[in-house]
Structure 1
Amino acid sequence: MTTDESAPVRRRVVLTGISSRAWEHPADRGALAALRELRGFDDVLKALSGLWNERALRLEYLGSAIRVDHRQYPRVYRLFAEAAASLDVAELPELFVQYDRSINGMCIGMSKPFIVINSGALELLDDEELRCLLGHEIGHLLSGHAVYRTMAMILQDWAARLAWLPVGSLALRAIAAGLREWWRKAELSADRAGLLAGQDPHACLRLGMKLAGGGDLSEIDVTAFGEQAAEYDRAGDLRDSMIKIGMVLDRTHPLPVARAAALRQWIDSGEYQRILSGEYPRRDDQSASSVRDDVKAAADSYRESFARSQDPLMSLLRRLGDGAGDWVGAGADRVRDWVSGVGRPRANGSQPPPTGDAWSDATNADRDRGDEQP
């Protein structure tokens, strides 16, 4: 699917020197800060990288997929370069297209991450939607997500292999569950990066709708889709709340409908527009930002989410007392207190190694699951 050649070209703002901190969800940034400050963690990653054999991983795609450049999939290459330019990325990572009819993408690797998207994304997405997806994956790369995503994949594999050892398997499963919770928040961060790369809220919301229902949006109503997200949040009773918890525990990605709602909330908060107007942290900003502050922001984020949620279980906990919200963030507070003895100030905006209401504004003219969603 391509964009009408007669359509006017959208002018996108180049976000010069933007730091990944500008789009990172607080819970994502707090978890990353804590992981990076663990003593010896780099050595563990190097060991895991050797076991994973990253060279073999890249060779697998080099031998079985199409590497994108100006000669192969030139349309995709152009959109990739445009998305990177908006985020002020000078050097493009490798990009591969693999045969798979689903809408999907991923950023993988540890020392030199690369991006893979499915052929289904090329078939089912228009230019604006595909630019958003590519920006999403670039956001993963700039935030350093690929390193920890690869580690999570390793741990999940180990947990499956060691299932016959109850103690070892339980420990690995607990670690993997924690990483999946971080991973779900990292996806929300990357959704924001995709929006900043394409700077078309309608297209990003259409992408969420296509992840939920496929490529044909001709009979889909954006307002009804938003209402569906609200109903998912508030509907049912405590049984439904427990079902929803069970549904997401083993997922690395938020459910598509809830994910689109989270992006809408970020747009409505005004943060997206502030960034486009130039209010964002820069990579070369030398002002100090502590791990403690990042983890505190993560705890505050969970509290705010708890207070905003209309889920029956969350509503019950709020009725039990004013301290219920503190209970939700207590675990993150303990992490914050722990890392305060380990953490060191780091430059605000430092980068890891390369490793209006959009729904109500959208019109019906804009109509147009697997766990490995972009």
Structure 2
Amino acid sequence: MSTDDEVTGAAPARRRVVLTGISSRSWEHPADRGALAALRELRGFDDVLKALSGLWNERALRLEYLGSAIRVDHRQYPRVYRLFAEAAATLDIAELPELYVQYDRSINGMCIGMSKPFLVVNSGALELLDDEELRCLLGHELGHLLSGHALYRTMAMVLHDWATRLAWLPVGSLALRAISAGLREWWRKAELSSDRAGLLAVQDPHVALRLGMKLAGGGDLSEVDVTAFLEQAAEYERAGDLRDSMIKVGMVLDRTHPLPVARAAALRSWVDSGEYQRILAGEYLRRDDPRASSVREDVKAAADSYRETFARSQDPLVSLLRRLGDGAGEWVGSGAGRVRDWMAGGRRPRANGGESSRADNPWSAEADDDQPGDPT
């Protein structure tokens, strides 16, 4: 298996495995993958949107950045171009999309467009991130591109607009709120998927963690402790009482992105699961795999993911629901299981008492407004 410095001719301090032919399904969060599978079933809808977008909206967006930002290549921002090419090589992307740098002092990036997507990063990311952190951010945006998030988010928003037209019905308003909440929940999971792509592009969990810390507190980490930040993430998950739980629910519902500490915790959990190391070892889905993805299996995996999250959560409200046993806790906790069983044709799940092995924890060596694309 080759390394990306061999592909690009660069000589980075460390060598990264090129994930030849990797499919984005290998790193996508189960809930993200389930939503994408459902949207992809709307055959023809994506082609229509691509055609309409290419005729006007996407052209206008590209011209806007062509006229007001700096297009990255070997002459303009060569450092960024090198890191961009290396991140793309690691994820086995043969053709680089266009990349622009716009003036904005915050750390952010976007994947824009459906017919021919392109990437935009803020000048603040160039100023506040070191090479490895910037590589991780660029890998995050490339992850959005490979998953087609910009296209399918647009599809979802069109469906949302259609539902809006029915809001005048007696149950229309409630249905619309449910759809809106579902779309935001999916997008938060899409961000977790692309965080994994960013990690795979840089292949250093500590770098991905530092990027999360800078998203939370800015570019200077000289007085920030890694262990304390992870403890803060754990405290956010479990601390407080039911009042805090309800506040956290309200904080997240209207957001398209998870909170930075929650993103760091989710990425650490993915690394701890062993999936990250298995991908680096070559155990991943390939783009040319002749086996078509199963919508049923993807939806089942999404339901199982929510059920497992419910079972592991230390949030006071979730803990209370679990303790209610045969009451609300059992109903909520088994809801995802009912969906899974229904998707399986009514079969009861098999008992599984085994435990998955945990990989060594590489984290322990060191102690939003919606936009017409994808903000980091």
TM range (shorter): 0.7 to 0.9
**What is aligned with 1:84?**
88
Name the SS of the counterpart of 1:289 in structure 2: coil
Tell whether 2:251 aligns with 1:255: no
Tell whether 2:184 aligns with 1:141: no
Q: CA deviation at 1:373?
A: 5.0
**What is aligned with 2:78?**
74
Point out 4+ residue stretches in structure 1 off by more than 6 angstroms.
Answer: 153-156, 369-372
Query: What is the aligned counterpart of 2:59 among 45, 55, 60?
Result: 55
| 8 Å contact from structure 2 (residues 112, 118) kept in 1 | yes
Tell whether 2:184 aligns with 1:180: yes
In structure 2, relative to structure 1, the CA distance for the partners of 1:50 and 1:274 (3 Å cut) is closer
Please list, as runs of the form range in 1=range in 2, the aligned pairs for 1:301-312 lying within 5 A after superposition: 301-312=305-316
In structure 2, relative to structure 1, the CA distance for the partners of 1:325 and 1:93 (3 Å cut) is farther
| 8 Å contact from structure 1 (residues 100, 120) kept in 2 | yes
Tell whether 2:347 aligns with 1:327: no
| 8 Å contact from structure 1 (residues 292, 337) kept in 2 | no
| 8 Å contact from structure 1 (residues 226, 359) kept in 2 | no
Q: CA deviation at 1:110?
A: 1.2
Tell whether 2:225 aligns with 1:221: yes
Query: What is the aligned counterpart of 1:118 among 115, 118, 122?
Result: 122
| 8 Å contact from structure 2 (residues 54, 114) kept in 1 | no
Counterpart CA distance in 2 for 1:117 and 1:29 is 25
Tell whether 2:333 aligns with 1:317: no
Counterpart CA distance in 1 for 2:369 and 2:220 is 18
Q: CA deviation at 1:272?
A: 0.6
In structure 2, relative to structure 1, the CA distance for the partners of 1:336 and 1:25 (3 Å cut) is farther
| 8 Å contact from structure 1 (residues 295, 336) kept in 2 | no
| TM, length-normalised to structure 2 | 0.83
Counterpart CA distance in 1 for 2:38 and 2:99 is 30
Q: CA deviation at 1:40?
A: 5.6
Q: CA deviation at 1:53?
A: 1.6
Q: CA deviation at 1:289?
A: 3.0
**What is aligned with 2:351?**
none
- AA aligned to 1:239 is R
**What is aligned with 1:353?**
none
In structure 2, relative to structure 1, the CA distance for the partners of 1:95 and 1:78 (3 Å cut) is same
Tell whether 2:196 aligns with 1:192: yes
| TM, length-normalised to structure 1 | 0.84
**What is aligned with 1:205?**
209
Question: Alpha-carbon deviations, 1:103-144, whole Å to 9, x = none?
Answer: 001111111111111000000000000000000000110011
Q: Report 1 or 2 for greater relative contact order, CA contacts < 8 Å, sequence distance ≥ 6.
A: 1
- AA aligned to 2:225 is D
Name the SS of the counterpart of 2:37 in structure 1: helix
Structure 1 spans left out of the alignment, 5+ residues: 1-6, 341-355, 364-368
In structure 2, relative to structure 1, the CA distance for the partners of 1:295 and 1:326 (3 Å cut) is farther
In structure 2, relative to structure 1, the CA distance for the partners of 1:109 and 1:338 (3 Å cut) is farther
Q: CA deviation at 1:14?
A: 0.5
Structure 2 spans left out of the alignment, 5+ residues: 1-10, 346-359
| 8 Å contact from structure 2 (residues 242, 316) kept in 1 | yes
**What is aligned with 2:28?**
24
| 8 Å contact from structure 1 (residues 267, 357) kept in 2 | yes
Number of residue pairs the alignment of both structures matches: 344
Counterpart CA distance in 2 for 1:45 and 1:170 is 27
Tell whether 2:115 aligns with 1:107: no
Counterpart CA distance in 1 for 2:229 and 2:280 is 26
